[in-house]
Amino acid sequence: MTEEEYEQAASFWTRKDEKEIKLDRDALYDWIDTFLSSHKVLALAAASADFIRCTPLEYTWHDGALWIFTEGGLKFRALKANKKVSAAVFEQNTGFGSLKSAQIQGIAEIVDLFSEAYSAEAALRKIPIETLKKLPKPMWLIKIVPDAITVLNSDFKKAGYGSRQTWENV
């Protein structure tokens, strides 16, 4: 590809979004909240200068954040250097014209072991805190607060809106 072709491809959605009708911010967030609450697996991408990792993980969505319990892994190599992450949640096995997904960009925070927030998430998931304390290795909790969430929903188009909408955490 030429430099011009890369730029054309990279700016596709930006150019298209300029002409699309936007959903009301609150209505968009309500859709996002329902969508993220109704799913439980995401793909988390974390990167540093020379390393990138994309990992499927179980999550919960509440209080405006994604919450992920994890034993560890190579994602922490990237998180040590760079707290900016991206995550994708999507409907599986959909055909053209019926896509639904959310791409989350945000900041990851490692929640202190057995802190109030850690214990509250364990309780929400019905994981006894004593069980977590007895594990031979810690179970870490990652909290991701979104900066922006871009959704693709073919149904928006049917209602007269752009199929791609972005909510920003301002």
How large a percentage of the chain has pLDDT more than 90?
86
Domain regions of the chain by residue span? 3-168
What CA–CA distance (Å, rounded) separates 126 from 120? 10
The CATH number assigned to the domain with range 3-168 reads: 2.30.110.10
pLDDT at residue 109 tops 70? yes
Phi-psi region of 72 (alpha: psi -120 to 50; beta: other; left: phi over 0): left
| Residue of 44, 114, 36 whose CA lies nearest to 73 | 44
pTM over 0.95: no
What pLDDT band is residue 52 in, cutting at 50, 70 and 90? very high
pLDDT at 19: 86
pLDDT at residue 163 tops 70? yes
Question: Using one digit for the tens of pLDDT, what is the confidence trace for 62-101?
Answer: 999 999 999 999 999 999 999 999 999 998 866 666 789 9
